[in-house]
A and B are shown apart, each in its own frame.
Chain A
Amino acid sequence: MELRFKINGNEVEVITEPYIRLIDLLRDNFDLTGTKEGCGIGECGACTVLMNGRAVNSCLVLAAQANDSEIVTIEGIAEGEVLSSLQKNFLVHGAVQCGFCTPGMVLSASELLDQKPNPTDEEIKDAIAGNLCRCTGYKQIIEAIKETAKELKSK
């Protein structure tokens, strides 16, 4: 079947099968390998992408369901070599260790800051509760998101 959508701002068309998951389409057809598969059942959040601005597990979405939508993956967050303030804060606060959960984490945090520019600690924790991280204990990630919210507010 033929699908059409926007990925990271670019209009794309692709021919695929009805049973192909969004994660497979992104990784295999578009080489967007920043989207990771950790569990395949929507528990770990490593495959999180934004679909029409909302964070979704791309292992739980069929590519066909994403037809006509706007997809943002981790590759679409920075502007060229210029990191977003969220990405910068992840680095400054040491929110990255092995980095496997990082793309999903950044995207979940993006949705949060988009929906709630002024989140409480609880809201931050809730926003990333579906992104498992085994390295960091989440604390520096939470700090990075908090700091980004502060920066965006003062802008």
Chain B
Amino acid sequence: MMPSFEILFPKNLNDALNAISLYKEDVHIIAGGTDVIPGLNQESKRFKNTRLLIDINRVPEMKGITVDQEKISIGAAETFSEILLNEIVQKKLPLLWKSAGTIGSVQIRNRATLAGNFVNNAPCADSVPVLLAYNTKVEIESLNSKREILLNDFLSAPYKTKLGKDEMVTRINIPIPSSKLNGDFYKLGRRRAVAISRITLALLISLNHNMIDEIRIASGAVTPIGMRFFDLEKFAEGQKVEDQFLKELSKKLGEQIIQVAGLRWSSEYKLPVVQQIFYQLLKGIERRSL
């Protein structure tokens, strides 16, 4: 049952920021509302005492997908469907495009936004590993400040971020990756569609004559929050792509996950499987670059 609350529809960014600076407490920003609305209806603790919703769908500064030399900038109110329809995203950010297609159903993708997928920092957010692998930056504004931070820094702990109480995520800026970066994304769920992810992995590699020039590894749903594995990346860079090494790397990913997450009820399944999936992704890229 829906609790009672108010809703605002600011027409520009200034109005939106004004609203959030006035209320701060007990306020939630919504775009698609696919998380907030059922959460409210189900009386979820996360939305307890909500007094106000600020709907950003009519804020032009938070709409649109723009492209320049360095980056693709996606408005915080852009839906997954809009991302899927964007040919530049499909071409330049293929992992994001692929992961967007695994989010919920058509109905969900028609409403849910990329920003909404990570602002609450749920561990199973499907797009997070991909965005991390793309070194995504988050543009954040308040009435009197504007900053841009790496998504990796933005996501601090499960269901916690670095977003201030008077701030909003306005845009998601993704540096256009070098064309040498080749990669893949894998989502494992309990069924073939509309599934909560059990494991997600994103991988980008550029090779130079069979040597790993650059590698980016990120996971979701196997660690308390989606994360990059920088140590592992450092370990891999400069190494030769050989079967033995790929196995080594996969095992190291497993070790890192244990370090971060410890052993949980699901580890007995997830740990071996994440190593296998990672190995398969590596082998796939190896095969495609031969």
Interface hub of A55, A59, A126 (most chain B Cβ within 10 A): A55
Chain B CB within 8 A of A38 CB = no
Given A19-B5, A21-B2, A21-B41, A130–B104 Cβ distance below 8 Å?
yes
Interface on A for B, CB 8 Å cutoff? 1, 17-21, 40-43, 45, 48, 51, 54-57, 59-62, 64-65, 67, 108, 111-112, 125-127, 129-131
A48 and B108 alpha carbons, distance in the complex (Å): 10
Complex Cα distance, B53 from A22, in Å, reads: 16
A45 to B3, alpha carbons, bound, how many Å?
Answer: 23
Q: Are A41 and B42 in contact (CB under 8 A)?
A: yes
Chain A residues whose C-beta falls within 8 Å of the C-beta of B41 in the assembled complex: 21, 40-41, 59
The tally of residues in B whose CB lies under 8 Å from a CB in A reads 28
Chain B neighbourhood of A129, CB < 8 A: 105-106, 193-194
Q: Are A18 and B105 in contact (CB under 8 A)?
A: no
Q: Is the CB of B107 within 8 A of A130?
A: yes
In the A-B complex, the 4 residue pairs with the smallest Cβ-Cβ separation, listed nearest first, are A130-B105, A129-B193, A18-B7, A41-B38
Q: Does B4 contact A (CB under 8 A)?
A: yes
B6–A18 CB distance below 8 A: yes
Which residue on chain B has the smallest CB distance to residue A64?
B7
| Contact code string B119-139 (vs A, CB < 8 Å = 1, else 0) | 000000000000000000000
Query: Which of B29-37, B68-76, B225-233, B279-287 participates in binding chain A?
Result: B29-37
B31-54 vs A, CB cutoff 8 Å, 1 = contact: the mask equals 011100110111000000000010
Give the distance in Å from the alpha carbon of A34 to the alpha carbon of B194 in the complex: 24
Across-interface contacts of A65 in B (CB, < 8 A): 7, 33, 55, 57
Q: Which residues of A contact B2 (CB under 8 A)?
A: 19-21
- Among A40, A64, A108, the residue within 8 A (CB) of B107 is A108
CB-defined contacts of A126 to chain B, threshold 8 Å: 106, 193
